[in-house]
Amino acid sequence: MHAIDGRKIARTIEERVKKQVEGKSLKLVTIVVQGSEESWLFARLKDRACRKVGIHHEILGLDTEKQEPIEQEIEKLNRDESVTGIHIQLPLPETMRYTELVGKVALQKDVEGMHPRNLGAIMLGRERIIPCTPKAVLTILHHETIPLKGKNVVIVNHSTIVGKPLALLMLNRDATVSVCHVYTKNLASCTKQADILVTATGVRGLITGEHVREGCILIDAGIKEENGAVYGDADESARMKAGAFTPVPGGVGPVTIACMLENVVEAYKNIHKGP
Amino acid sequence: MHAIDGRKIARTIEERVKKQVEGKSLKLVTIVVQGSEESWLFARLKDRACRKVGIHHEILGLDTEKQEPIEQEIEKLNRDESVTGIHIQLPLPETMRYTELVGKVALQKDVEGMHPRNLGAIMLGRERIIPCTPKAVLTILHHETIPLKGKNVVIVNHSTIVGKPLALLMLNRDATVSVCHVYTKNLASCTKQADILVTATGVRGLITGEHVREGCILIDAGIKEENGAVYGDADESARMKAGAFTPVPGGVGPVTIACMLENVVEAYKNIHKGP
């Protein structure tokens, strides 16, 4: 049982990105709508990461309850040639339809990999820009030199930004994939089949020793803040049983941000590749 | 244990489609490239189905080994206002890249639901045109009034046209989903968890009584021709154990063709909806 050092993996990525960015003019704009404390926190983390590697970053705070003004801002950013990447910060207010907003972002500036065409490309096995959290999971497994073909991968999350794209990415790599969630009848009986267990529920301590098979790889993308500290989905008994696990904090989180930086570089390359 | 009558379900759909088509001018073009016997057979089945409901249908046979001439034909059909739906018949010759070809079809004329943007829409939970075989599976389950929320669905197929989109469609309906395939280590231990088992491998008799749980719903989308007869993936022992099953022939096949007719109507509506 060993802890996977997400911060170290992130640093490796950042160093690579820094070299790729050198001498080029990349600019990411992060849109924060009616910023909750959480969304500002994430936006600031990205701001810091961008500065570290030499990517220009602007946070565009919008204080509207309507969707149209945001769409207009996105259109402006689409046309602005100095902007090479656009990112809509989650969580959004409940009235906002994220999937519609992200569909308005110019395909080439979609650094989240959430444009319908980028998601469709995953389904077609022709991966382009990949959503950041699933990309972080793949990056960590690659870094740990864990092969995926034929492995039992269980994902506890069926959201549009994590579970669904990750399931397809794993299928593209010939893993056997199961996706569980809040409506799953017997979670433990499903998760115990996992060679690789990825959890991203934000329910602190949901995954215990009873849920994991001895020696499995436990990737914890859950995050829950309580009294100023953050916690993952897996408790200590689950981690002790795993062959390797990602801690929270310092696991999937920093790698996800580093993967977003990589996506900003990818988008820049696509824009400058020409027709 | 009862057999689900796919032909009957197909007839119900066809009658509905016939009414929707009345007085309108719908035209589907099916592209058959270097037609194998199999692809011509499927194209002819579609031709017959179209005629039955009053949809104009043309089979465009192309005898090229190159991709460009096909793409040019697709462009022509995209511009042709009399054509309301375009369909690329599978199987294609091995040299052809289906996913690239289908990406050239105008989004609004994609009756297969395989345009990257239509596939991306499934991932985003905003389903538009759905691929025909997955749509047939959902239609059959709906017809049998089988709820999906919280059910264990196991899919034996991880292709772009069946397994991957079906997995997402099931997740959109809050089923717990597992996807198995040729690299799965222990198929039976996975399939035995299924409340609903969907198989589409084309390996005759792959699924036996050992693979299914007593009373499960067995949807057999496999098809294998041998000496002029067609066989599904499930053998008799699997069917006997199932609570309900789709036979081959007369199960998923006819419903899939009927679902394509529905997609042709959907596409027509989208085209005439205006901006």
Contact B126, B176 (CB under 8 A): no
Average pLDDT on B250-269 reads: 97
Contact B139, B198 (CB under 8 A): no
Q: Which residues pair with A178 in a beta bridge?
A: A154, B178
Partner-chain contact B168 A168, CB within 8 Å? yes
Tell me the residue type at B29.
V
> A275: exposed, middle or buried (C-beta count within 10 Å: 0-12, 13-18, 19+)?
exposed
**Mean pLDDT, chain A cut into blocks of 10 residues (275 residues total):** 96 98 97 88 94 97 92 98 96 89 95 94 94 98 97 97 98 98 97 98 97 98 92 97 97 97 97 75
For the domain spanning A26-107, the CATH number is 3.40.50.10860
Report CA-CA distances (Å) from B15 to A76, A103, B10, B128.
48, 36, 9, 22
- CB-side exposure of B104: number of CA atoms within 13 Å? 19
User: What residues in chain B have their Cβ under 8 A from chain A's Cβ atoms?
Assistant: 99, 103, 114-126, 149-150, 152, 158, 160, 163-165, 167-168, 171, 174-181, 183-185, 189-190, 193
> B150: exposed, middle or buried (C-beta count within 10 Å: 0-12, 13-18, 19+)?
middle
Partner-chain contact B122 A123, CB within 8 Å? yes
User: Is the domain defined by B132-253 classed in CATH 3.40.50.720?
Assistant: yes
Domain B25-107 class in CATH: alpha beta
Rounded Cα distance between B125 and A117, Å, is 14
Rounded Cα distance between A217 and A245, Å, is 6
Q: Which of B116, B125, B160 sits opposite A160 (nearest CB)?
A: B125
What number is the ipTM of this complex?
Answer: 0.95
**Cα–Cα–Cα angle for B73, B76, B80, rounded to 5 degrees:** 140
Partner-chain contact B123 A123, CB within 8 Å? yes
Contact B70, B62 (CB under 8 A): yes
Quote the pLDDT of residue A268: 97
Quote the pLDDT of residue A274: 60
- For the cut 70, the answer to whether the pLDDT of residue B275 exceeds it is no
Mutate to test the interface with B, among A179, A185, A186, A213 (most CBs of B within 10 A): A179
Residues from chain A contacting residue B174 (CB–CB below 8 Å): 158, 181, 183
Residue in the structure block whose two tokens are 């719903």: B217
Q: Distance from B177 to chain A by nearest Cα, in Å?
A: 5
Q: Is the peptide bond before A247 cis (omega within 30 degrees of 0)?
A: no
φ, ψ of residue B122 to 5 degrees: the values are -65, -45
> A224: exposed, middle or buried (C-beta count within 10 Å: 0-12, 13-18, 19+)?
middle
The domain segmentation of chain B, as residue ranges, is 25-107, 132-253
- For the cut 70, the answer to whether the pLDDT of residue B274 exceeds it is no
Alpha helical stretches, state H, chain B? 6-21, 37-53, 68-79, 98-104, 116-123, 132-143, 163-172, 187-191, 236-241, 252-272
Average pLDDT on B43-54 reads: 95
Quote the pLDDT of residue A142: 98
Number of residues assigned to chain A: 275
Q: Which of A119, A179, A190 sits opposite B124 (nearest CB)?
A: A119
Tokens linked to A59: 């946070």
Q: Distance from A149 to chain B by nearest Cα, in Å?
A: 7
Quote the pLDDT of residue A113: 96
**Cα–Cα–Cα angle for A190, A195, A197, rounded to 5 degrees:** 60
Q: Distance from A200 to chain B by nearest Cα, in Å?
A: 15
Residue in the structure block whose two tokens are 């989308």: B221
**Number of Cβ within a 10 Å radius of residue A34:** 14
φ, ψ of residue A258 to 5 degrees: the values are -65, -35
Q: Which of B152, B160, B190 sits opposite A123 (nearest CB)?
A: B160
Q: Which of A99, A171, A180 sits opposite B164 (nearest CB)?
A: A171
Residue in the structure block whose two tokens are 């010759």: B93
User: Which positions ≥6 away from A113 have C-beta within 8 Å?
Assistant: A119, A122, A128, A129, A130, A131, A132, A135, A165, A263
If pLDDT is split at 50, 70 and 90, which confidence band does B34 have?
A: confident
In which element (H, E) is residue A258 found?
helix A252-272
Quote the pLDDT of residue A275: 56
Partner-chain contact B123 A115, CB within 8 Å? no
Tokens linked to B249: 């022939």
Partner-chain contact A171 B168, CB within 8 Å? no
Rounded Cα distance between A232 and A225, Å, is 9
Contact A166, A155 (CB under 8 A): yes
Q: Comparing A26-107 with A132-252, is the CATH topology the same?
A: yes
Partner-chain contact B123 A124, CB within 8 Å? no
User: Is the domain defined by A132-252 classed in CATH 3.40.50.150?
Assistant: no
Residues from chain B contacting residue A122 (CB–CB below 8 Å): 123
Helix axes A252-272, A132-143, angle to 10 degrees: 110
Residues from chain A contacting residue B158 (CB–CB below 8 Å): 171, 174
Q: Distance from B126 to chain A by nearest Cα, in Å?
A: 8
CA-closest candidate to residue A104, choices A132, A75, A131: A75
In tens, the pLDDT along B213-250 reads: 999 999 999 999 899 899 999 999 999 999 999 999 99
Rounded Cα distance between B219 and B137, Å, is 7
Quote the pLDDT of residue B257: 96
Mutate to test the interface with B, among A99, A157, A168, A189 (most CBs of B within 10 A): A168
User: What residues in chain A have their Cβ under 8 A from chain B's Cβ atoms?
Assistant: 99, 103, 114-126, 149-150, 152, 158, 160, 163-165, 167-168, 171, 174-181, 183-185, 189-190, 193
